[in-house]
Amino acid sequence: MKKFSDRTAVITGAASGIGLELARRAATEGMNLVLADIEFDKLEAAAATLNLPPRRVLLRKTDVSQEVEIAALADAAFDRFGGVHLLCNNAGVGLTRVTWEHATADWEWVLGVNLWSVIHGIQHFLPRMLKQDAPGHIVNTASAAGLLSTPGMAAYNVSKHGVVTLSETLYGELTAAQAHVGVSVLCPTWVSTGIQNSVRTRQERFGDTAPAGAQSIAYAERMDQAVASGRLSAADMATAVFDAVAHDRFYVIPHRRINQAIELRMHDILNLRNPTPLG
Ligand SMILES: NC(=O)c1ccc[n+]([C@@H]2O[C@H](COP(=O)([O-])OP(=O)(O)OC[C@H]3O[C@@H](n4cnc5c(N)ncnc54)[C@H](O)[C@@H]3O)[C@@H](O)[C@H]2O)c1
């Protein structure tokens, strides 16, 4: 997809972090914006900083883990702008604790927001995007966690591995179909955003997480430090994404130093070695 101006972008998780920077870049490119987030007040405040005329923006309170809400988001976007050209399935949450301290509700929350949201996004937007005349592109925000298996974040890892393989599968299918809709997967490592405070958006139906033990607390502290010290910014992620979309590049892995860890994992698999422990 080469042309962005006067096209329409739908971005989930747009009130904060990477989603907000994707929105900022899309606005700069002259796109119409459909911005969705579960935190609506924050979304309104964030959207105001984009200084766009109201005719170019649609804000929707959306819980992306709910299919009915994604379906309504798609209807609203197509009704308002007549088409959707860039879909960024970006909203996500993190949870840090050892696997045996993940309750069922923890798994359901993380998989719902991080993986089911992308599944529903594809279900409800892609068939309509394929029927449009204009080219389109889907960007799924996964993570380096979708390429590795870092301890202390089982549900997050599972959700992001799911997003990577879903995106790879879709890439193969769209290529075979010679479709004019492309797909990319964003796999950052650490970016300083609101992700370490994800519990703020945990829906009531999931209840509270159970108290964490010492090992989980240590992992969480390490993760807090890593995220806070992220060497690339959310704006860098948006730059990498728009570059990838313009050049139809599938893998968007802005932190190149992660290559070593990916390579090590691949060698472990190919050589039937036990997984080399990660940090
Ligand atoms: N920050 C990092 O280090 C990092 C690294 C790799 C991948 N990611 C991924 O980047 C994406 C964006 O996260 P971020 O780092 O900008 O964090 P963030 O917390 O700053 O932004 C996430 C946004 O998603 C929204 N959200 C949460 N649950 C939602 C729901 N049920 N429905 C709709 N919106 C919901 C939040 O309100 C928030 O605005 C996520 O998918 C995350 O997993 C982040």
| Residue 276 Cα to ligand 1 middle (Å) | 28
**CA-nearest residue, atom 16 of ligand 1:** 17
**What residues are in contact with ligand 1 under a 6 Å CB criterion?**
12-13, 15-19, 37-39, 62-65, 90-93, 113, 141, 143, 188, 190-191, 193-195, 198, 201, 227, 230, 234
Structure confidence at residue 5 (pLDDT): 96
Choice between 117 and 279, residue whose per-residue pLDDT is larger: 117
Q: Compute the mean pLDDT over every residue in the chain, rounded to the nearest whole number.
A: 97
Q: Is 156 a catalytic residue?
A: yes
Residue 61 scores a pLDDT above 90: yes
Q: What backbone phi and psi angles, to 5 degrees, belong to 182?
A: -105, 175
Span 249-255, average pLDDT: 98
Residue length of the chain: 279
Host H or E run for residue 60: strand 57-61
Span 56-65, average pLDDT: 98
Q: Which residue is catalytic, options 156, 171, 219, 251? A: 156
Structure confidence at residue 278 (pLDDT): 87
Ligand 1 mutation pick, 12, 38, 66, 200, max ligand atoms within 8 A of CB: 38
Structure confidence at residue 279 (pLDDT): 67
Structure confidence at residue 78 (pLDDT): 98
| Residue 93 Cα to ligand 1 middle (Å) | 5
Structure confidence at residue 210 (pLDDT): 87
202-227 pLDDT tens trace: 999 999 998 999 999 999 999 999 99
Report which ligand 1 atom has the smallest distance to the Cα of 227.
Answer: 3
Structure tokens at 227: 């995220």
From first CA to last CA, the distance across the chain in angstroms is 38
Q: Give the C-alpha separation, 180 to 59, whole Å.
A: 27
Span 24-37, average pLDDT: 98
125-140 pLDDT tens trace: 999 999 999 999 999 9
141-172 pLDDT tens trace: 999 999 999 999 999 999 999 999 999 999 99
**Contact call for residues 91 and 13 (beta carbons, < 8 A):** yes
**Contact call for residues 74 and 124 (beta carbons, < 8 A):** yes
Q: Give the C-alpha separation, 81 to 220, whole Å.
A: 42
Q: What percent of the chain has pLDDT over 90?
A: 98
